[in-house]
Copies of this chain bind each other. A is one copy, B any other.
Amino acid sequence: MIGNAVKTLLLNNEDSFLIPDEKVAHVMDTNPLNHALLVLTKVRYTRIPVLNREGEFVGLIGLSDIVNAMFDLTEIDPDNLTDLCVRDVMDTEVDTITQPYDIEYILHLSVDSPFIPVVDSDNHFAGIVTRKEILKSVNHLVHTLENEYTLTEKKQPERKIG
């Protein structure tokens, strides 16, 4: 459990958590890999969301997925770039979050994910929450906490030794 004071300070920046869908580069599950390669080389994220025709979030794809697919044993085979499409190589095992944010769950997921996709109740893609924004909130928290609160150590129950 995260206490209320910490939760409030972490969510201070909440309105800027979401990078909305229209600002996040994405590809469609039916796009050929060469299109995804072009998009991925132009954006700063190394994995981007994959949507289906209905606008639902269906997975993530990264440069390494594409480069791996290009490698035909030891040689690079650029034919794979047109023969395969995004849904053939994308990662579908991706945790998503919904609003209102559960900051405890977001902080937990952020340990393993550079960003977390946000979906609405119908699984339509709404945007992403990034480690960058989370770490901005953490900076705010740690710089503000002891300015706004006096911290008094609680008496710990004594532990028996031996």
Contacts and interface: CB of A to CB of B under 8 A. Distances in A.
Interface string A12-44: 000000000000000000000000010011000
Prevailing SS type, chain A contact patch? helix
Given A6-B142, A139-B108, A151 B151 contact: yes
A10 B151 contact: no
A21 B1 CA distance: 35
This chain's copy number in the assembly: 2
Contact of A111 (B107, B136, B152, B153): B136
Contacts of A100: none
A114 interface: yes
Contacts of A6: 142, 145-146
Contacts of A154: 147-150
Contacts of A46: 46, 62-64
A5 interface: yes
A157 to B, nearest CB: 12
A98 interface: no
Given A41-B64, A63-B46, A135-B107, A10 B142 contact: yes
11 contacts: A3-B151, A10-B142, A63-B67, A138-B138, A145-B145, A145-B151, A148-B153, A148-B154, A149-B151, A150-B151, A151-B151
A111 B10 CA distance: 15
A34 B132 CA distance: 31
